[in-house]
């Protein structure tokens, strides 16, 4: 039986996180040429991950099988509008699991862990960012109780 777990990322994970991120980037860019420019991480990626590790309003977890990192999830805690009375929202910005490690519970373990962490911070409203056309990720979050709240429309103009 596989030992699947999610744990907080550390500075020692930066190299493997960058490798996993590049795999995510390779998967997302064909779906949207804007993804690496507007939805991914800023370059250099290791610095961006390091900032998330140090940011008290960010949750960065590593998903593992038998102690081997095969995925990650990144979320931020954000304030809602003033009329929400100080309520917070947990925004899952990135999630990735290596293709060979999918469908064995790594994504579910990371999602459960990030939601538990956010609830511990008083967050009970959650968003997950998913590209249009990425049906597997949409289905994954819908199975976790998420539903569409907002769709971002974009227009690209070459100048």
Positions in the chain whose pLDDT score sits under 70? none
Q: What's the confidence (pLDDT) of residue 125? A: 97
Q: What's the confidence (pLDDT) of residue 156? A: 83
Q: What's the confidence (pLDDT) of residue 115? A: 98
**Do the Cβ atoms of 90 and 75 come closer than 8 Å?**
yes
**19 C-beta neighbours (distance < 10 Å), count:** 12
- Give CATH for domain 4-143: 3.40.630.30
Domain ranges of the chain: 4-143
Tens digits of residue pLDDT in 16-41:
999 999 999 999 999 999 999 999 99
Q: Please give the model's pTM, rounded to 2 decimal places.
A: 0.95
């Amino acid at each position: 039986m596989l030992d699947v777990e999610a744990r907080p990322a550390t500075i020692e994970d930066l190299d493997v996180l960058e490798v996993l991120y590049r795999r995510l980037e390779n998967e997302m860019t064909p779906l949207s040429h804007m993804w690496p420019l507007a939805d991914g991480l800023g370059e250099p990626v290791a610095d961006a991950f390091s900032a998330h590790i140090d940011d008290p309003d960010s949750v960065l977890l590593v998903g593992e099988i038998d102690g081997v990192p095969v995925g990650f999830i990144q979320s931020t805690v954000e304030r809602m509008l003033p009329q929400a009375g100080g309520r917070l929202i947990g925004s899952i910005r990135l999630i990735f699991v290596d293709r060979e490690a999918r469908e064995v519970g790594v994504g579910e373990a990371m999602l459960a862990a990030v939601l538990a962490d956010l609830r511990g911070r008083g967050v009970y409203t959650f968003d997950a960012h998913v590209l249009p056309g990425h049906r597997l990720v949409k289905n994954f979050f819908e199975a976790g109780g998420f539903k569409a709240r907002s769709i971002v429309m974009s227009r690209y103009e070459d100048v």
